[in-house]
Amino acid sequence: MSAPSSSCDLVVIGSGLGGLSCAGLAALHGLDVVVLEAHDRAGGAAHGFERRGFQFESGPSLWSGLGRWPSSNPLAQVLRALGETVPVATYPDWGLLLPEGSLRIGVGPEPFIATVRELRGLAAAEEWSAFMTWLQPFSQAALALPLLALRPGLGMAAVLGVRRSARLARLAPQLAALGGAFGPMARRHLRDPFLLHWVDLLCFLISGLPMDQTSAAAMATLFADWFDPGACLEYPLGGSPAVVAALVRGLERHGGALHTSCPVAEIILEGGAARGVRLGDGQLIRARRGVVSNASPWDTLALLPPGSGHSRWRQQRAATPACASFLHLHMGLRGEGLQDLPVHHVWVGDWERGIGAERNMLVLSMPSLLDPSLAPQGQQVLHGYTPANEPWELWQNLEPGTEAYEQLKRERCAIFRQVLGGIIPDLEERVVIELHGTPRSHQRFLRVHQGSYGPALGADQGVFPSGSTPIEGLSLCGAGVFPGIGVPPVAVSGAMAAHGFVAIPQHRALLESLDLLRP
């Protein structure tokens, strides 16, 4: 790959889904964009890798709204704007291993209500139905605001236009209620313990935070999607790397460039404004318009020259709480007799410990059931992780490769086999390859502070940050604003960062081309 150009309009640091969404849209709008990725491959937390014929992924496991149009999924909207699509396989249900027992629940309103009726009785089923009915106007309000219309500053009304803005004004009470956390809304209408635990589970899966900190708008959108009568889950064929590849194709089609193995050492400030970066090898890349950082807030601060001002903002960002990290399992299995398993399982050990308690939740995925190309013939690939519940403090003083590190890894990752043994009793005889990842793995490969997947910014603390900074020409997106767990908000943050460098008429024209401004 050729060396990066010495100048461009916009430098994007990091090629996670947020950074690539930003870069692709900025290139679409005519900016000369260079994306710089420290790793040897694009994707950030959504990258993939191969071992012995098994295609493993480190990225998202649960997808929806990616393979159909129109779609409320902002990532699907970004891909369509870039002229890209990602083929998906659909499936109707997922497995749940809960304290109440082993369940297989279909996506959509009726399958879940039937499960609740069987598990908790008619009163609980009616309680859930009433909650869904009450929530529907809020879900419709959330869908009425096209998230790709968001931009820094006060220009969103001009992007939306008079008619769409008037419609949103009529929905102001519902939109105002969606500005906080979802927990109070759920507690106001739900009393059954299982239903409250279920909401907490869904919140943690999409945000890495419990329901009292998860965005009400995000959950209202999720319920509008997942509990629609025609709802289904999706898996992008080729996994997360296929989504990354589509974003890279879109970027390059519109004149942008991606450079891997190019770690940024410093953001260059001139006259107090971000005007480029210095790479680890010393090369300077000038940016006429500015710099967007897809790195975490703590890692972005480390790239700024010391003594460059804005001390209060720096202190606030440095004090941003971090999501806990992950344990990962990548396993290749002999696949005979596994075809009838659910593609996904979510395991919860004990509701009373709290949904975010360490090693209290696992997500397990066997995507080769949908996409056989991910594994050698007759075999299956399995991906498991503990979603944002592994404490960094256990690992921070251990050096990878030492006996103490390997011992802790064996102890902490034993939870995967404990749970899998209940799903695949002859697991031991099936294992072809087994790999484990720890917070130190994430710190190393993603070059991220404490192995975290991003800031733990609760919706109960106020409006989410926009990605704007007090430094002229410097914006944040992806892990700089949201935890990497939630794909839709990460894509929105990338689009928002891009539109901060684009005139309002261009921004509006994009939404019109996607038919997102229909009254």
> What does the pLDDT read at residue 489?
87
pLDDT tens digits, residue range 286-327? 999 999 999 999 999 999 998 888 999 999 899 988 989 999
Per-residue pLDDT reduced to its tens digit, 252-294: 999 999 999 999 999 999 999 999 999 999 999 999 999 999 9
- What pTM does this model have? 0.95
Query: Is residue 118 within 8 Å of 105, Cβ to Cβ?
Result: no
The domain segmentation of the chain, as residue ranges, is 7-49+237-320+457-513, 93-231, 328-451
**Domain 7-49+237-320+457-513 falls in which CATH fold?**
FAD/NAD(P)-binding domain (3.50.50)
Looking at residue 465, what is its pLDDT?
A: 62
Using DSSP's 3-state secondary structure scheme, residue 98 falls into strand
pLDDT for res 1: 58
Q: What is the pLDDT of residues 85-109, one digit of tens each?
A: 999 999 999 999 999 999 999 888 8
**Eight-state DSSP code of residue 255:** T
pLDDT at 7 over 70: yes
Strand partners, 364: 345, 384
pLDDT for res 10:
98
CB 332 within 8 A of CB 186: no
Phi, psi of 258 (to 5 degrees): -115, 135
Helix (H, G, I), strand (E, B) or coil at 154: coil
For 460, the 3-state DSSP assignment is: helix
CA distance 113 to 121: 10
Is the per-residue pLDDT at 206 higher than 90?
no
Instruction: Find the mean pLDDT for residues 64-77.
Output: 92
Sheet holding 431-437, edge to edge: 101-106, 93-98, 344-348, 361-365, 379-385, 328-334, 431-437
More confident residue, 110 or 31: 31
Amino acid occupying residue 442: H
Rg (CA), the chain: 22
**Residue 166, Cβ neighbours under 10 Å: how many?**
11
pLDDT band at 353 (very low <50, low <70, confident <90, very high): very high
> What is the pLDDT at residue 59?
79
Entry field: residues in the chain: 519
Residues 58, 330: Cα–Cα separation, whole Å: 9
Q: What's the mean per-residue pLDDT of the chain?
A: 93
Taking alpha carbons only, the member of 81, 88, 106 closest to residue 29 is 81
Percent helix, percent strand, percent coil in the chain, to nearest 5? 45, 20, 35
Q: Exposed (0-12), middle (13-18) or buried (19+): which is 416, by Cβ within 10 Å?
A: buried
pLDDT over threshold 70, residue 483: no
User: 197 — phi, psi (to 5°)?
Assistant: -65, -40
Residue type, 206: I
- Whether residue 126 has pLDDT greater than 90: yes
SS (H, E, C) 7-63: EEEEEEECCCHHHHHHHHHHHHCCCCEEEECCCCCCCHHHCEEEECCEEEECCCCCE
Confidence at 464, pLDDT banded by 50, 70, 90:
low
The predicted structure's pLDDT at residue 192:
98
CB burial class (10 A; 0-12, 13-18, 19+) of residue 65? buried
Query: What is the SS3 string spanning 334-365?
Result: ECCCCCCCCCEEEEECCHHHCCCCCCCEEEEE
More confident residue, 481 or 27: 27
- Measured CA to CA, the distance from residue 350 to residue 361 in angstroms comes to 9
Annotate 304-316 with b (16+ C-beta within 10 A) or e (fewer): beeeeeeeeebee
Average pLDDT over residues 17-26: 97
Task: Supply the pLDDT for residue 62.
Answer: 84
Average pLDDT over every residue of 161-183: 91
Report the share of the chain in percent with pLDDT over 70: 98
Above 80 in pLDDT, residue 462?
no
% of the chain with per-residue pLDDT over 90: 79
The answer to whether residue 484 scores a pLDDT higher than 60 is no
Tell me, what's the pLDDT at 485? 63
Per-residue confidence band for 441, with pLDDT thresholds at 50, 70 and 90: very high
At residue 356, what is the residue type? Answer: G
Residue 346 clears pLDDT 80, i.e. is over it: yes
327-346 average pLDDT score: 96
In angstroms, the CA 139 to CA 113 distance is: 19
* Cis-peptide into 321, omega within 30 deg: no
